[in-house]
């Protein structure tokens, strides 16, 4: 093999290796993303038991996140627009995620408004992990 063909072959091999490495990194990132949502529970244990409409609630189940549709997202965005509220980072915003939590739990706004900040922040954090990781 002459020097020109040898150099060309090395360049092709390097290019192919770069493509394969990029594909592997993407696949690893996708696997990590799937693992995060599989390993973090959807049920949030609250810091205390809340009495709401004759019921005692100490957990909030957010597993309905997996059933949300584009129409649900549009609805929450419309609610925010009607409130004239425009969060910079909606999946980390308490008001925005409170409305997502309402949608997936069927609990009313009054329940979420009565939560300790710490409990709502735990809900907000779980929603952020679902959408952003």
pLDDT digits (tens, 9 = 90+) for 61-83: 999 999 999 999 999 999 999 99
**Residue linked to tokens 């649900």:** 72
Q: Contact at 8 Å (CB) between 101 and 108?
A: no
**Residues in the chain where the model's pLDDT stays below 70:** 1-8, 26-37
Q: Contact at 8 Å (CB) between 42 and 62?
A: yes
Interacting residues of 93 by C-beta distance below 8 A, sequence separation 6+: 87, 124
Whether the model clears a pTM of 0.75, i.e. scores above it, the answer is no
């Amino acid at each position: 093999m002459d020097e020109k063909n040898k150099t060309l072959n090395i360049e092709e091999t390097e290019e192919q290796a770069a493509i394969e490495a990029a594909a592997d990194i993407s696949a690893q990132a996708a696997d990590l993303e799937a693992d995060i949502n599989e390993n973090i529970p959807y049920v949030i244990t609250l810091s205390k038991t809340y009495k709401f409409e004759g019921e005692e609630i100490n957990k909030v189940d957010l597993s309905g996140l997996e059933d949300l549709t584009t129409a649900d997202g549009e609805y929450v965005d419309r609610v925010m627009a009607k409130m004239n509220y425009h969060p910079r980072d909606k999946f980390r915003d308490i008001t925005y995620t409170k409305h997502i939590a309402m949608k997936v739990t069927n609990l009313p706004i009054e329940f979420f408004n009565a939560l300790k900040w710490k409990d709502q922040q735990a809900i907000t954090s779980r929603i952020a992990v679902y959408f952003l990781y």
